[in-house]
Structures are given as structure tokens and as C-alpha cells.
Amino acid sequence: MVEEHIKHTFDLNAVRQDFPLLARKMNGKPLVFLDSAASSQKPSVVIDAIAQYYKYEHANVHRGVYAISAAATDAFEASREAAKDFLNAGSAREVIFTKGTTEGINLVAAGFERAMLKQGDEVLISVMEHHSNIVPWQIACEQTGATLKAIPINDDGDLILDDLDHLINDRTRIVAIVHISNTLGTINPVKEIISKAHEKGVPVLLDGAQAAPHMKIDVQALDVDFYACSGHKMYGPTGIGLLYGKEAWLNKLPPYQGGGEMIKEVTLEKTVFNELPFKFEAGTPNIAGVIGLHKAIDYITALPWDEVHAHEQALLDHATELLGQIDGIQYIGKAKNKASVLSFVVDGVHPHDLGTLLDQQGIAVRTGHHCTEPLMRRFGIPGTVRASFSFYNTHEEVEKLYNATSKAVKMLL
């Protein structure tokens, strides 16, 4: 029953061999890694590229006239071009390298705080947002006197959009919404939300941290104004991310940080800022991370995405069916359109206790509130157990999750 679900050319065994950590053991058991929503594993090509850079190619970028620096700059900017293609941005000027989704959202929120928001204005998010798409906007609203509002959700974990025409009004300055919920797996109807917002002249930021690893992103087709995602969730290094912004909007925002690279000219009286994208990239960047991200983008874009999506969906369906047989289990997030995230609670069992027993059986899952405390309050729970699947997971691992969970629940009740 291990891989009979998959009848296509996607070579799962070959893919798994690309990820060294998947071969290790945890607590004496073969590792079953089901926490890719927190951070995905890295293929050898990414790890090797980072090591190669630090061993033989390290130099700062954009500053040196010597050969190694020029080569590092070329590699750095080649990664930006790859990111542009990955997101289908209109220009490489619209692609900003950040530390990750969190910094990308903070960059936009800080820019709106300084240049766009005033008392009486409104920012619209949703109840299912990650803290990274709540806290920066709270700070911006507190500093300016603006008001933070949220789109509610129903019991299945879908956004309730009935009042969207009223929630987006002449006081709304930006809508910031998660593309795919990290806790629920809900794939939000972002194109509809963007269209509604644009009808009223309101820009939209999408938190794409969970979407970028699981679907093709086309910022031009979405017509989104800002899109943020993280390298470490899309099989690349930690500490590197992407912020896409429409050029017109990026030109309106003030710089996020000051320092080297983001300037054209500095006198003691005045600074002339650099052109895009360098206006938002102060200081020495994460060069190794950018180079590693390029390899990650190359790796995932070479995959047969229709087959990858079908495989991940089959894993989710299989897990949902199997774990549903466990007495007392409740799924948190039952949207019809969802990605490969399965959050659940078991009556009478604390998620941390269950996660600890799964760990002892070699199963790595995430437990807690998943940086979505307002969402947990909406469902009246302290947290969930979350199993998140990637294309490198197997149906055998789904069955191990089921067996280990069944065993753990019996021990705890």
C-alpha cells in the first residue's frame, strides 16, 4: 500500500535521496518528517552551493572591481532573475531580498506607517493570520491612530466574505491576507479579494509563506501589489526571503533601513536613495542565502508540478481518512480548498503530550498555537497537533503517523 496511490512519472524515491536529513533516525526510529510548514528540508544541491560559495567564491557584492567580487555579484543578481521568473514579476526591480516573509511584511507595514497611514484609516487582515501578518500592522496602527480590522472565518476555516464590500471601504488603506493558512491549510480566494480591493483603489499584500512551496505563483495574474515568501519553506536556506512589490508602490514607500547599498549619494546634510531594488537592501546581504535560494528555485521549478500537487493532495486525503478513524479526533480546518496541512486535536489529550509521544516514535510534527493565537481563540482551543506534508513524504509515512497517533492516544487516555 506504500506508493500504489501514485501512478505518474514523479520519482519519489529519487527525490527523497536528494534530501540527506530524511535518511537519519530520530530517537532510534527512521525519521518521519511532517513539519515542512514550519521549515522544509534542503536538497543537497542547495547545501552544496552554500558550501561552495563559502569555500571558494566568497566576496562582498556590488562593491568590488576584482574578479571574485564580480562573480559573486553576478551570482547574486542571477538569483534575483530566477526569483523574478519564479514569481512572474514584471521586472527584477520589483524583487527585494529580505530575511523572510516576516521581514517582507514588516518592510511594507513600516512604509505604510511612515507614509500612508493616519488617524481614522483602516488596515484589513483576517482572523487566520500568522502573527507575522498581525503584529507589524498592530504596531503601524498604534503609531498612527489607524484601526486594525479582521475578516472573520467560519467553523470549517473558510473566510466569511459576505461583508467584504463593507469591510473594504473609503478608509481602508491596505488589505493584508494570508494566501494559504499555516494552521488550517485553507487556500484563500485571494484573486477575488484582490479584485474587490482594487475596485476601491486599495492595495493588497499576500503572505505567501505557505503558498510558494505548494503552488505556482504568478503575481501578475493575481494582480497583487505585494507578495512575501520565505526561502526556508521552499527548500532553500534560512534567513532569506523574497518581497515582490509593484514598482509604482515600491517607489511610494520610504526605505525600510538606512546604510550602505541603499544610497546613491550621502552628505552630512542629505542622502539621495538608490534605485529599486537596492533602495530596500541596506548593508551586506545574505549572499550565501541568495545563492542557495537560486538552487532551491531551480530544483522546485524543475519538478512536474501537476504531479507534485496530486501527490501532496493524495497524502492529505490519505491522512485525513486514516486519522479520522481515531476516537475523539477533531480536525481544525476543514475547508474544501486546502493545502497539505492537517491540524487536529483529540478529546482529553493535550497537543504537547501527543507530540512528545509521536517524537519518541520517530514522528516529527508541530504542536501548539502555530503563531496563530487569535485563530486558536476563535476555535476555543490552546493549540493543535499539525502534520504538514511535502512532496518528499510517502504514504507509508502517513500510515506510520496513524499507527503512532493511535498508540499514543491509547497511552494518554
Whether 2 shows a pLDDT value over 90: the answer reads: no
- Measured N-to-C along each axis, helices 287-301 and 44-52 cross at an angle, to the nearest 10 degrees, of 150
Nearest residue to 378 via CA among 192, 157, 227:
157
Q: Exposed, middle or buried, 270 (CB in 10 Å: 0-12/13-18/19+)?
A: exposed
User: Do 301 and 252 meet the contact criterion of CB atoms below 8 Å apart?
Assistant: no
Give mean pLDDT, residues 9-13.
Answer: 87
Whether 1 shows a pLDDT value over 80: the answer reads: no
- Of 47, 303, 326, 371, which residue is the catalytic one? 371
Give the model's pLDDT for residue 7. Answer: 43
Whether 162 shows a pLDDT value over 60: the answer reads: yes
368: three-class secondary structure by DSSP:
strand
Rounded Cα–Cα distance for residues 286 and 184 (Å): 31
User: Do 243 and 267 meet the contact criterion of CB atoms below 8 Å apart?
Assistant: no
> In this prediction, what percent of the chain has a pLDDT beyond 90?
93
Q: What is the DSSP letter of 142?
A: H
Q: Exposed, middle or buried, 105 (CB in 10 Å: 0-12/13-18/19+)?
A: buried
Whether 406 shows a pLDDT value over 90: the answer reads: yes
Strand partners, 97: 242
Give mean pLDDT, residues 202-221.
Answer: 97
Give the model's pLDDT for residue 84. Answer: 98
* pLDDT, tens digit (0-9, with 9 covering 90-100), for 264-306: 888 898 888 889 999 999 999 999 999 999 999 999 999 999 9
Rounded Cα–Cα distance for residues 168 and 389 (Å): 34
Is the whole-model pTM more than 0.85?
Answer: yes
Give the model's pLDDT for residue 105. Answer: 98
User: Do 121 and 149 meet the contact criterion of CB atoms below 8 Å apart?
Assistant: no
User: Do 398 and 376 meet the contact criterion of CB atoms below 8 Å apart?
Assistant: no
* pLDDT, tens digit (0-9, with 9 covering 90-100), for 310-365: 999 999 999 999 999 999 999 999 999 999 999 999 999 999 999 999 999 999 99
- The C-alpha R_g of the chain, in whole angstroms, comes to 22
Domains of the chain: 12-30+304-412 (3.90.1150.10), 48-301 (3.40.640.10)
* pLDDT, tens digit (0-9, with 9 covering 90-100), for 123-137: 999 999 999 999 999
Give mean pLDDT, residues 2-28.
Answer: 80
**Does the annotation mark 371 as catalytic?**
yes
Can you give the three-state secondary structure of 278-346, one letter per residue? Answer: HHHCCCCCCHHHHHHHHHHHHHHHCCCHHHHHHHHHHHHHHHHHHHCCCCCEEECCCCCCECCEEEEEE
Rounded Cα–Cα distance for residues 27 and 359 (Å): 7
pLDDT band at 262 (very low <50, low <70, confident <90, very high): confident
